[in-house]
Amino acid sequence: MRKIVLVLGAVVASLGLSACGSGVKATINTSIASLGAQSALQLHFTANVAGSGTAEAARILNVVSMDVRYVNPSGNPISQANTKDDAEILVNVGAQSLLDVRVLNGNAYLNVDLTAVKSIPGVPLTSQDQSELAAAQLFLGGKWFEVPANLVKSELPKASANKVQTAKVRGIEVKLFDALSKLIDNGHAKSLTGGGYSETGTLQSVVSAVLPTIESVDPSVTPPGKVPGTYTLTLTNAGSTATGGSISITAPAGDGTSGNATVGLTATVTHDNDPVVVPTNVTVITPALIQQLEGSASSL
């Protein structure tokens, strides 16, 4: 979950463009630093789509959202939590939570409400699907499950080969991120009237920026032809404090559909006093219970 904050911060921080001058860069850096400057942070994510052939997807995205919360239990800024912050992620359908995941002291807590699936417009549910959802809801719905930290550690791969592979993947991710940051840094940002900055660029420039890294990993990759479309990044501020960010991409709809489609992701930022707490009446997950759950799933 922490990666969500890092991605948001990296995207909007990259709007500290050289073309804007050092004063603007300093303002943007300060606003990004504000994400972790307090003991609590909440991020509310929504997505949208518009254009040719997107009506069905738009109906779904209109009711789906995600909330991420971080709290430093010591009361110090989140930036000083050193990965010991409490966290929660909520996947919402309207005002109803489909999934609630909390992490406190290394333990994970999960709650699923499958009745929320019925509120997603356009999801085809046969009589059998509804029956299976009802059975799963009877077993899982409204119940909190705890995955202890020691169980998580015991299930994680420990082989040195896996560690090497993980390090390799992270190295590739860093190179791709650096390439994108350099691309955005060389762009041209515009100041927003309400506070913040916005930048638009081409998808072709994105492909050109990351292609060398991809080719270094897999030389057999065939370079794509000209890639049409544009992206827009925004950062909204209240003074020097970040209040949100967004990214939108516009490109040909494809799949035989004429015209363009635009996909967007928006995040709003708050720092309310909203603690992440351990739920009550928790069922502790054990290896034996995992086997039971797997058996129940296979019978559906």
Angstrom distance (rounded) from CA 52 to CA 265 = 18
Express each pLDDT in 29-78 by its tens digit: 677 788 889 999 999 999 999 998 888 889 999 999 999 999 999 999 99
By CB neighbour count within 10 A (0-12 exposed, 13-18 middle, 19+ buried), where does 161 fall? exposed
Angstrom distance (rounded) from CA 172 to CA 153 = 25
| End-to-end Cα spacing for the chain | 30
Least confident of 166-170, 210-214, 246-250: 166-170
**Is residue 208 a contact partner of residue 227, using CB atoms and an 8 Å limit?**
no
C-alpha closest to that of 27 among 181, 199, 235, 187: 235
Alpha-helical runs (H) found in 34-100? 55-61
pLDDT of residue 152: 67
Instruction: Quickly state the pLDDT bin for 123 (edges 50, 70, 90).
Output: confident
Percent of the chain with pLDDT over 70: 75
Which residues constitute the domain of residue 209?
2-299
Number of independent structural domains in the chain? 1
Q: Is the pLDDT of residue 131 over 70?
A: yes
Express each pLDDT in 142-194 by its tens digit: 789 998 888 766 655 554 456 556 666 667 767 776 776 676 666 677 788 88
Identify the H or E element spanning 22. helix 22-33
Angstrom distance (rounded) from CA 60 to CA 98 = 14
**Is residue 16 a contact partner of residue 197, using CB atoms and an 8 Å limit?**
no
Angstrom distance (rounded) from CA 173 to CA 160 = 20
By CB neighbour count within 10 A (0-12 exposed, 13-18 middle, 19+ buried), where does 272 fall? exposed
pLDDT of residue 10: 45
Kindly give, in sequence order, each residue whose CB lies less than 8 Å from that of residue 227, ignoring residues fewer than 6 positions away.
202, 203, 204, 206, 207, 251
Instruction: Quickly state the pLDDT bin for 141 (edges 50, 70, 90).
Output: confident
The model's pTM is 0.79
**Is residue 21 a contact partner of residue 42, using CB atoms and an 8 Å limit?**
no
